[in-house]
Amino acid sequence: MPSEQTLRILDTIRAVPRGRVASYGQIAMIAGHPLGGGGARDVVRILVSMSEKENLPWWRIVRKDGAIALSPGNGAELQRTLLLQEGVIFDASGKVAEAYFWTLYE
């Protein structure tokens, strides 16, 4: 059985709406992980180990600067394609435009 913290992170990842992205740290913070406590790493661990099993929208989670963390040939192209299909726009440097970051007030 997953821990309460893991369940909160799973619920927060699932809450990111279509056409929006969130950063690893943002997910951790919203899920109640203490700042500086390795929360972003926990989000990565959960995404790697549970995305398929839990049917998580993994492609909506990016670095805080809007960059895709996956490397070319290891999922970056698929993540970009899935985000584009949801209407997410990338800036000239290839990062998700800031306007597409999720806020809790939407």
The β-bridge partners of 61 are 22
Could you give the 3-state DSSP secondary structure of residue 96? strand
Q: By percentage, how much of the chain surpasses pLDDT 90?
A: 84
Which of 12, 93, 104, 105 has its CA nearest to residue 60? 12
What global pTM score does this model have? 0.93
pLDDT (0 to 100) of residue 90? 97
Q: Tell me which of 1.10.10.10, 3.40.640.10, 3.40.50.300, 1.10.150.530 is the CATH number of domain 4-99.
A: 1.10.10.10
CB atoms near residue 6 (< 10 Å) = 17
Spell out the domain ranges in the chain. Answer: 4-99
Chain segment 1-32, per-residue pLDDT in tens: 888 999 999 999 999 999 999 999 999 999 99
